[in-house]
Amino acid sequence: MNRPILYLDGITVSYDGMLVLDVPSFEVQEGETLAVIGPNGAGKSTLLRVLGLLERPTEGQVVFGGRPILQDGNLLMDRRRMASVFQEPLLTDGTVEANVALGLRLRRIDSAEVSRRVQQGMTTLGIGHLAKRRTRTLSGGEAQRVSLARALVLDPEVFLLDEPFAALDPPTREALLLDLKTILDKRRITTIFVTHDRNEALLLGNRVAVMMGGRVQQMDTPERVFAEPVNEEVARFVGIETILRGHVEAVSQGLATVAVPGWMLEVAGPLTPGERVLVCLRPEEITLFPCRTTVSASSARNQLYGSVIRHLPIGSTFRVTIDCGIPIVATVTRQSWEQLGLEDGAEVVAAFKATAPHVIRCV
């Protein structure tokens, strides 16, 4: 991470008086891959268009390479230092190589150089053998590779991707995602990658920005965003399903006793008695035991008794919901699920360590 290559200052975007983007400040560091995640309608794509100089904000300033961009001036030269890829490949009617060459031709680069860069780009994306194919005969994955090659041959200073894999089937998406990661790791292009898929953000992002309701809720390393969300909305979006409201009863030797409906939990962290908090538990932090088992007190200070009310198979795991007076969601392997007999109605102990929860202070 060096210096900000792109900076947004006091940006708002409104459509017919309705505020859809409100970003007081936003920094993109040179060479980083910034994943922008959030649910549909969060303003991610609008943010990307503003960053890519493709949409004029209602208010505010875009600073690119240390220089404020005049929104009513000629943006073409600045826009040509960037390249965008969208969810749909949006190829023009013609051959693959003509499409990969499109941006270079728009810049009136000489033919020999175009040819060299197109060959290189197609090889990098593994589409050299498709060079003469017409774009309307391509599969979705092939078309998106062409779209990526078309943008990458431009050697952009800023590479903007708006959910480029959202319309692809899972195996195609995974293959393309890994190839893109290899390219980005190697070339260190400043990349802004919009997605609603948490796993894509985790895989590609050096940093993650979480957007909701047109605002950036949190911007940090993927590890921190996923482990320490700043509020309930972000927590739910990053996959935390058990969020318990409570208040701190007492604090002793770094351990806080938090009262949640029906239970007293022991939670590690610098908390103050009387504080109102949200206790967030990731499903994978919770261990399930048969009801008669004694769980070692040192390893799992919190043990909640309840019964299974729902189980959903998700790939090779089961997502089990336990009613402990409060709903607790845990993930177990298919093997554990069978061994523990976690059918609906089964009585279990849901255990977790004092260090497992992430605690959010309520303001």
How far the first Cα of the chain sits from its last, in Å, is: 32
289 burial type by CB count under 10 A (0-12 exposed, 13-18 middle, 19+ buried): middle
Decide: is 8 part of the binding site for another protein (CB under 8 A). no
Q: How far apart are CA 169 and CA 187, in angstroms?
A: 27
Q: Which stretch binds another protein (CB under 8 A): 2-10, 48-56, 59-67, 286-294?
A: 48-56
Q: Toward another protein, which CB reaches closer, 168 or 278?
A: 168
Exactly one of 44, 145, 150, 282 binds another protein (CB under 8 A); that residue is 150
Q: Toward another protein, which CB reaches closer, 72 or 93?
A: 93
DSSP letter at 134?
B
Decide: is 116 part of the binding site for another protein (CB under 8 A). no
Decide: is 196 part of the binding site for another protein (CB under 8 A). no
Decide: is 103 part of the binding site for another protein (CB under 8 A). yes
Q: How far apart are CA 227 and CA 239, in angstroms?
A: 10
Question: What's the min distance (Å) between Cβ of 109 and another protein?
Answer: 11
Instruction: Please name the residue that has the structure tokens 């792109």.
Output: 6
Exactly one of 51, 151, 238, 322 binds another protein (CB under 8 A); that residue is 151
Question: What's the min distance (Å) between Cβ of 66 and another protein?
Answer: 21
Q: Which two tokens mark 215?
A: 């605002």
Q: Toward another protein, which CB reaches closer, 161 or 243?
A: 161
Q: Toward another protein, which CB reaches closer, 164 or 246?
A: 164
Q: Which stretch binds another protein (CB under 8 A): 73-81, 167-175, 261-269, 270-278?
A: 73-81
Question: What's the min distance (Å) between Cβ of 130 and another protein?
Answer: 17
Exactly one of 7, 26, 64, 86 binds another protein (CB under 8 A); that residue is 86
Exactly one of 61, 63, 80, 257 binds another protein (CB under 8 A); that residue is 80
Decide: is 84 part of the binding site for another protein (CB under 8 A). yes
Q: Toward another protein, which CB reaches closer, 55 or 228?
A: 55
Q: How far apart are CA 214 and CA 229, in angstroms?
A: 18
Would you list the DSSP string of 168-237?
Answer: S-HHHHHHHHHHHHHHHHHH--EEEEEES-HHHHHHH-SEEEEEETTEEEEEE-HHHHHHS-SSHHHHHH
| CA distances to 213, 277, 355 from 269, in Å | 30, 12, 8
The H or E element containing residue 82 is strand 82-85
Q: Toward another protein, which CB reaches closer, 90 or 312?
A: 90
Instruction: Please name the residue that has the structure tokens 């790791």.
Output: 185
The H or E element containing residue 118 is helix 111-124
Decide: is 26 part of the binding site for another protein (CB under 8 A). no
Q: Toward another protein, which CB reaches closer, 80 or 353?
A: 80
Strand, coil or helix: 294: coil
Decide: is 352 part of the binding site for another protein (CB under 8 A). no
| 335 neighbors 350 (Cβ within 8 angstroms) | no
Question: Which residues are CB-neighbours of 294 under 8 A, at least 6 positions away?
Answer: none
Decide: is 38 part of the binding site for another protein (CB under 8 A). no
Q: Which residues are at the interface with another protein (CB under 8 A)? A: 49, 52, 54, 76, 79-80, 82-86, 88, 90, 92-93, 102-103, 106-107, 150-151, 154, 160
